[in-house]
């Protein structure tokens, strides 16, 4: 399995490219900005983008959707409970002093326990609301793409529209039941593990 993380945009959002080494099929997770850098990895490795997946649809996670969609025509996929956040993304970006172009509409919605196939790889969708209503994580092959649900030693904020502290607590507790050795690849910052977060994440002590 090939995994490449790129910190894109002024907010340093982690965009991940996950690919099957044998089939060269790949998914793009959270293309927040700098589409040229993302697509350079795709082109260099001759990857075929089969899905563009948004762990949630805050503007810093979706800014490069137009270019990635135009290049690949791959379906844009996120949880249906993110639709309101998605539709407000341009206004939210403007409020924070950022600009997001016209966004293509989603092609598919995914739900908890859905399986995302990437060549011979498969990832399970985990609906983890709290930071946003339709936030998801992708779990498979010892890795968790956690979006803004959890970070190293922290969690996503809940004071934005659609945020919910209690739901985030439930999502956090659910993720902490994953195997200790699970490598967590968050939406911002460096990687961590479930064991480390179970031991040290302040949110688990609240």
Query: What's the pLDDT band for 123 if we cut at 50, 70, 90?
Result: very high
Query: What's the pLDDT score for residue 104?
Result: 95
Q: What is the CATH number of domain 2-205?
A: 3.60.15.10
Question: DSSP strand E in the chain: where?
Answer: 2-8, 13-19, 25-29, 48-53, 76-79, 108-110, 115-118, 121-127, 136-140, 143-147, 150-151, 154-155, 183-186, 192-193
Q: Considering the chain, what percentage of its residues have pLDDT values greater than 90? A: 91
The domain spans of the chain are 2-205
Query: What's the pLDDT score for residue 156?
Result: 96
CA–CA dist 76, 68 (Å, integer)? 9
**Residue 19 predicted with pLDDT over 90:** yes
Q: Considering the chain, what percentage of its residues have pLDDT values greater than 70? A: 100
Q: Tens digit of pLDDT for each residue in 78-107?
A: 999 999 999 999 888 888 788 888 899 999
CA–CA dist 160, 94 (Å, integer)? 15
Query: What's the pLDDT band for 197 if we cut at 50, 70, 90?
Result: very high
């Amino acid at each position: 399995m090939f995994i490449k993380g790129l910190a894109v945009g002024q907010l340093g959002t982690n965009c991940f490219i996950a690919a099957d080494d044998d089939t060269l099929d790949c998914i793009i997770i959270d293309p927040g900005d700098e589409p040229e850098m993302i697509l350079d990895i795709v082109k260099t490795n001759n990857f075929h983008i089969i899905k563009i997946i948004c762990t949630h649809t805050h503007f810093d996670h979706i800014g490069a959707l137009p270019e990635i969609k135009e290049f690949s025509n791959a379906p844009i996929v996120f949880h249906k409970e993110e639709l309101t956040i998605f539709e407000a993304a341009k206004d939210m970006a403007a409020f924070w002093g950022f600009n997001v172009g016209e966004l293509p509409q989603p092609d598919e919605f995914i739900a908890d326990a859905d399986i995302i196939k990437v060549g011979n790889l498969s990832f399970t969708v985990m609906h983890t609301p709290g930071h946003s209503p339709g936030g998801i994580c992708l779990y498979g092959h010892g890795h968790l793409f956690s979006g803004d649900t959890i970070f190293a030693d922290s969690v996503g904020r809940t004071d934005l529209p659609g945020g919910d502290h209690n739901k985030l607590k439930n999502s956090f507790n659910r993720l902490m039941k994953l195997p200790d050795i699970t490598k967590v690849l968050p939406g911002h910052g460096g990687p961590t593990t479930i064991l480390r977060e179970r031991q040290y994440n302040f949110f688990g002590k609240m």
